[in-house]
């Protein structure tokens, strides 16, 4: 099976949520996993329970990221780290836009730039990019988040072109609502915010869990060597991807 083909993996955002869940599964499957996150304390906690090798680095610092992965032969790259924000482009701050571009998009491109040449040289590798249904469907949310996740979707397709003829697989995991800390962080990250986010977005809903995402990634990696699962959209059964909104106004232009 393909897991026997691989020796190493690198997971971004490995300190919590989907990243921690994926790290746990990959280490159990026998891979040496390098976990990347800027929160060293939480990263070390995951390392203590999984055996992952922690790399405490801010992925938006490209010089530091380059130094952290220099010399590593990574067979499986999981681009999981991501940030979001409430609102839309009309009330977005410059910092929030830059953060989403830097984490969701720029870091993904640079990690591929840094680690894919080794995969090409060894004629072996698997890249898994976590995007979002926000990158495929239009609905209310932060425009910059939608834009960066749409870019991840296109990157995932383009990487297959970049490595044509090589035994390198690229999988985009496109989730709907997953039970993570993202909504709580959007509300400020305090214990009260986390509680409010849970009650608002998860309580009473049958959401996707982080284990569901990790199991899906395991399934994609475990596919036969000649099979590339390019795009996997995974949503709660009770969540639908779209809708049609029409706003009625009474100040119709008489012209």
Query: Which domains occur in the chain, in start order?
Result: 2-234 (3.40.50.720)
Closest C-alpha to 1, from 220, 164, 168, 166: 220
In contact, 38 and 56? CB cutoff 8 Å: yes
**pLDDT the model gives residue 198:** 77
**Is 201 among the residues known to form the active site?**
no
pLDDT over 70 (residue 246): no
- Residue 176 and residue 235: Cα distance in Å, rounded? 5
For 4, other C-beta atoms within 10 Å of its C-beta total: 9
φ, ψ at 156 (rounded to 5°)? -60, -40
Tell me 2's DSSP state: G
**pLDDT the model gives residue 87:** 77
pLDDT, average across residues 22-36: 98
Confidence of residue 99 (pLDDT cuts 50, 70, 90): very high
**pLDDT the model gives residue 206:** 86
Of the residues 6, 34, 145, 201, only one is catalytic, namely 145
In contact, 157 and 109? CB cutoff 8 Å: no
Residues 6+ apart with CB under 8 A from 54: 14, 34, 35, 37, 40, 43, 44, 46, 47
pLDDT over 80 (residue 79): yes
**H-state helical runs in the chain:** 17-28, 40-50, 62-69, 94-100, 107-122, 143-162, 182-186, 191-197, 210-221
No. of helices (H) and no. of strands (E), the chain:
9, 7
Confidence of residue 248 (pLDDT cuts 50, 70, 90): low
pLDDT, average across residues 54-67: 97
- Residue 132 and residue 105: Cα distance in Å, rounded? 13
- Residue 170 and residue 221: Cα distance in Å, rounded? 10
In contact, 81 and 100? CB cutoff 8 Å: no
Helix (H) or strand (E) holding 76: strand 76-79
């Amino acid at each position: 099976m393909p897991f026997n083909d691989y020796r190493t993996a690198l997971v971004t955002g490995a300190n919590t949520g989907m990243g921690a869940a994926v790290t746990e599964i990959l280490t159990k499957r026998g891979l040496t996993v390098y976990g990347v996150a800027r929160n060293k304390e939480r990263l070390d906690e995951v390392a203590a329970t999984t055996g992952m090798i922690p790399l405490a680095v801010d992925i938006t610092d490209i010089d530091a990221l380059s130094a952290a992965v220099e010399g590593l032969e990574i067979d499986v790259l999981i681009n999981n780290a991501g940030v979001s924000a409430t609102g839309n482009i009309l009330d977005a701050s410059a910092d929030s836009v830059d953060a989403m571009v830097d984490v969701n998009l720029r870091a993904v491109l640079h990690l591929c730039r840094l680690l894919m040449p080794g995969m090409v040289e060894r004629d072996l590798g698997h890249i898994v990019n976590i995007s979002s249904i926000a990158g495929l469907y239009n609905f209310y949310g932060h425009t910059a988040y939608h834009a960066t996740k749409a870019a991840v979707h296109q990157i995932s397709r383009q990487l297959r072109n970049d490595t044509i003829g090589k035994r390198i697989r690229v999988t985009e995991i496109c989730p709907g609502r997953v039970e993570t800390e993202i909504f709580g962080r959007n509300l400020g990250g305090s214990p009260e915010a986390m509680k409010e986010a849970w009650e608002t977005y998860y309580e009473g809903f049958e959401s996707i869990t982080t284990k569901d995402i990790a199991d899906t990634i395991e399934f994609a990696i475990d596919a036969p060597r000649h099979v590339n699962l390019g795009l996997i959209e995974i949503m709660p059964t009770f969540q639908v991807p779209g809708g049609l909104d029409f706003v009625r106004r009474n100040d119709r232009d008489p012209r």
